[in-house]
Structure 1
């Protein structure tokens, strides 16, 4: 085992892909420090139990859709003694509507934008100085192919897809802005993952587009498998990858 480790900050670490990323980065090296965020540590029993098993995991309270919560990041990191972060992984997000455009309300659009687009950027603004304190400077954002304008999915991703497309746009800009500071800013598509959040989408696909469902059903990933691929590609990213959209297998995707 290496005598040195890396520090990771992972939002939405209490379930699904985020939970597996926390687990796998903590297990990768016992010298790693993994900061896992959740909106409610008291209700994140599995994550709290994982943190008891791996003492290099620290659980903090964060709601990425709430600016007041985001403003508490510094105080919480100070209590842990964190001065620098090597890799920031923005994973927290929502997908709560599968309505078509004509039936999607402004409240649904705004909620997705607030949590999936604006929240990750505002959290990054807080984490920026901690990344600047290290040489690694990786900022990884879990996006989705649903936000790709080129590889458009034949589904009602509507508010979710729009929020991810907006996130991707922001990341292209951020990658250019921070290129001179040697940051590595990358959106990643985790694959089609069988999580609680995806259950409704899978049922919807089966109902409205059975042919597409038949084409993708056998390619569905477990959170463990998706995270395994993401850990591998994230660890391998270098400055030449800055601003490129990748999937969990390390394949380049089109914006």
Structure 2
């Protein structure tokens, strides 16, 4: 795994305004959402930051190139952007350190970074694909949670949402060869369940959730590939596509409405339960 050199550390900076003291977050809800530069993540950032009392901290691998996010930041002073790459082992801890400089705690963590770049039969999937998606979709969110655990403890809210997928469900298996993608999300689901049990006594609320089949690069690509191998399922998938805004609205509602009774559940974006 690549080391985090001093040269890269010098680039690791908040990419918005200079703030000399901590944010006035006593009366605010502080959200951290990774991967807020595009797709579902960007839509969630926009939805949450439309509430002026919310403080939204988000990330991009290359903040300077996240044009739409940076344009949004210009008119929303409650959004703060940091550099973060889920595939770099030390980035999560560095991100948490940077966030701790401007906020005395975090209420809600949404681990959203991920990818689904491989579809096809298991026997045709290269080893590199299994390893890369496990690192990004499973290990990345785990390291992110571990890094932010102390900041979550500083608030009583303690909500953690892991962006998963219905393709990671064994109980409601969808006959689509998502191989490394589905497996990596199933492993993430396992860890989310494990954390929900381990940290229940500390009043954490931890849930993995399916954001819906969203008309994003990933969602549209999935439908296109499935159409070639199973037109019936592809037609069904196409019929249930939702916009990033619909997904984001539902995710924000889900996050705000979670209670202790929801801890350890696996939800669809509309809060209907999904089998593990």
TM-score w.r.t. structure 1 length? 0.96
After TM superposition, what 4+ stretches of structure 1 lie above 4 angstroms from structure 2?
A: none
Q: Distance in 1 between matches of 2:124 and 2:135?
A: 19
Equivalent residue, structure 2, for 1:186: 207
Q: Distance in 1 between matches of 2:60 and 2:43?
A: 14
1:46 matched to 2:72? no
Asked if the contact 2:100–2:151 (Cα under 8 Å) also holds between the matched residues in 1, the reply is no
Q: Distance in 2 between matches of 1:189 and 1:128?
A: 23
Equivalent residue, structure 2, for 1:67: 89
Q: CA deviation at 1:197?
A: 2.1
Asked if the contact 2:214–2:220 (Cα under 8 Å) also holds between the matched residues in 1, the reply is no
Q: Distance in 2 between matches of 1:218 and 1:233?
A: 23
1:155 matched to 2:176? yes
Q: CA deviation at 1:196?
A: 1.2
Q: CA deviation at 1:68?
A: 2.5
Q: Distance in 2 between matches of 1:234 and 1:220?
A: 21
Aligned residue for 1:211, secondary structure, equals helix
Structure 2: runs of 5 or more not aligned: 1-25
1:32 matched to 2:51? no
Deviates more, 1:147-156 or 1:210-219: 210-219
Alignment size in residue pairs: 251
Q: CA deviation at 1:168?
A: 0.5
Aligned-residue RMSD, C-alpha = 1.1
Q: CA deviation at 1:239?
A: 0.6
1:12 matched to 2:12? no
**Of 216, 226, 230, the match for 1:205:** 226
Equivalent residue, structure 1, for 2:6: none
TM-score w.r.t. structure 2 length? 0.89
